[in-house]
Amino acid sequence: MDNQTQLDAFYAELENDSLQGLWRVVRNMMSRTPSSPARPFHWQWPRLRRHLDAAAELIGVADIAKADRVADRRVLVLVNPGLKERNTTTPTIAASLQLIRPGEVAPAHRHSSTAIRFMIDGHGAFSAVDGEKFCMEPGDLVLTPSMAWHNHGNETDRPVVWMDGLDAPLMMQLCAFFYDDYPKDEHEIVRSPGFSVKKYAAGGLRPMPSAGSSGVSPLWHYRFEDAYRALSNLAQVEVDPVEGAALDYVNPLTGGHALPTIGCRIQLLPAGFAGAAHRHTGHVIYHVVKGEGCTTMGEERFPWQQGDCFVLPPWLWHKHESAGHGESILFSMSDVPVLEALQLYKEELQPQL
Ligand code: GTQ
Ligand code: FE2
């Protein structure tokens, strides 16, 4: 037997015994710098809106239970072209847009996947989370912690659209997905309106209990009104060269990330802001809350406008610019809390030429 035949026979035997020579596969398992199947990508609001309106015509929610063309959630997932098989935005977070027509109820359920809602269009629709009903205004953020019962509804006379973010892809990867339907459409409301904000949004003062809290924020509603005031104040005194005036949504009891798996941030880029480039580990999904500008990711420029969404893969140089005629505001979700917990968050400023 020549050497090659011997080797082939050896590899076949290994495979038979559920073994593999690391030297044959190591190059696919390791990369010199972080690499992700997610690609930089951009969704423009006018097309998103058009498809949502079409879904509103074609797909009913819950009200005609189990009939044809009915979904529990009328949701369009932002599918990254690099993650088509997984139908997700990044390997860790799935972002999508949800439209709820007047009178619809998205029935109650719960899952181990943590979720967030970020209100885009419409006034006064609600998400009910574990006994409290959150009425949402544009720019508001509502948290749905792991295993919290939640249903949504729209008691206004116009459709509403919000962005969902779920760590479902990460949960699937970790094989830690649990899901339950609630026996009724709506989960019982046991807290008065505004309870969470009244108890926990104390403007930098820490409510009781001040220690021993879990990793999840007890504040589940972050109002745009408050975030915008804080951003405007910050922008008057300090603007970071990379991020502009940026604020992270935190657990008011600990100052840590509001959620263990999804990092939420809002940033204001003053008119004419031209950010410095940096790169870091972690995927980021951006949504343009206000204004116009451009984000450069790698070699490619992505000009954006209000309502657009775009994705940034890890370790890619990127920078943000805001148009000259007005400030811009970006909301973003990232897997940075997970990387930080595992001590894998790394960041570099691009050296100036
Ligand atoms: O609204 O509960 O985009 O369970 C994906 C899964 C939204 C929701 C999504 C969900 C929801
Ligand atoms: Fe859900």
Report how many domains make up the chain.
1
Asked whether residue 281 is assigned to any structural domain, the reply reads yes
Tokens encoding 261: 């798996």
Asked whether residue 5 is assigned to any structural domain, the reply reads no
Asked whether residue 327 is assigned to any structural domain, the reply reads yes
158 CA distance to ligand 1 middle (Å): 20
Q: Within a 13 Å sphere around the CA of 173, how many CA atoms are in the beta-carbon half?
A: 11
Using left for φ > 0, alpha for ψ between -120 and 50, and beta otherwise, residue 251 falls in: beta
321 CA distance to ligand 1 middle (Å): 32
Q: Which of 124, 164, 125, 120 is nearest to 144 (CA)?
A: 164
What stretches in the chain show pLDDT beneath 50? 64
- Residue 70's pLDDT is what? 62
- Residue 352's pLDDT is what? 83
Find the Cα–Cα–Cα–Cα dihedral 270, 273, 276, 282, rounded to 10°: 50
Q: Tell me how far apart the alpha carbons of residues 203 and 145 are, in angstroms, rounded to a whole number.
A: 22
158 CA distance to ligand 2 middle (Å): 22
Per-residue b/e over 240-258, b at no fewer than 16 CB within 10 Å? eebbbbbbbbbbbbbebbb
Sheet of strand 263-269: strand arrangement: 41-43, 309-312, 284-290, 328-334, 263-269, 245-248
What are the φ and ψ backbone dihedral angles of 2, each rounded to 5 degrees? -75, 170
- Residue 42's pLDDT is what? 98
172 CA distance to ligand 2 middle (Å): 15
Asked whether residue 3 is assigned to any structural domain, the reply reads no
Q: Tell me how far apart the alpha carbons of residues 196 and 220 are, in angstroms, rounded to a whole number.
A: 6
pLDDT digits (tens, 9 = 90+) for 263-316: 999 999 999 999 999 999 999 999 999 999 999 999 999 999 999 999 999 999
Which atom of ligand 1 is nearest the CA belonging to 77?
A: 3
Domain of 300, in residue numbers: 41-349
Cα 207 to Cα 85, 212, 251, 328: the distances in Å are: 45, 13, 11, 32
- Residue 187's pLDDT is what? 95
Task: Answer yes or no: is the C-beta of 74 below 6 A from any ligand 1 atom.
Answer: no
Cis before residue 209, ω within 30 degrees of 0? yes
Asked whether residue 286 is assigned to any structural domain, the reply reads yes
- Residue 27's pLDDT is what? 86
Cβ 248 vs Cβ 287: under 8 Å: no
Task: Answer yes or no: is the C-beta of 148 below 6 A from any ligand 1 atom.
Answer: no
Asked whether residue 6 is assigned to any structural domain, the reply reads no
- Residue 64's pLDDT is what? 45
Q: How many helices (H) and strands (E) does the chain have?
A: 7, 24
Q: Tell me how far apart the alpha carbons of residues 332 and 267 are, in angstroms, rounded to a whole number.
A: 8
Asked whether residue 29 is assigned to any structural domain, the reply reads no
Q: Which of 156, 128, 159 is nearest to 144 (CA)?
A: 128
Q: Tell me how far apart the alpha carbons of residues 352 and 348 are, in angstroms, rounded to a whole number.
A: 12
Residue with tokens 């989960």: 187
Which atom of ligand 1 is nearest the CA belonging to 75?
A: 3
- Residue 29's pLDDT is what? 86
Task: Answer yes or no: is the C-beta of 72 below 6 A from any ligand 1 atom.
Answer: no
CATH of residue 217: 2.60.120.10
Asked whether residue 109 is assigned to any structural domain, the reply reads yes
What DSSP element (H or E) covers 27?
A: helix 22-29
Residue 257's DSSP bridge partners are 250
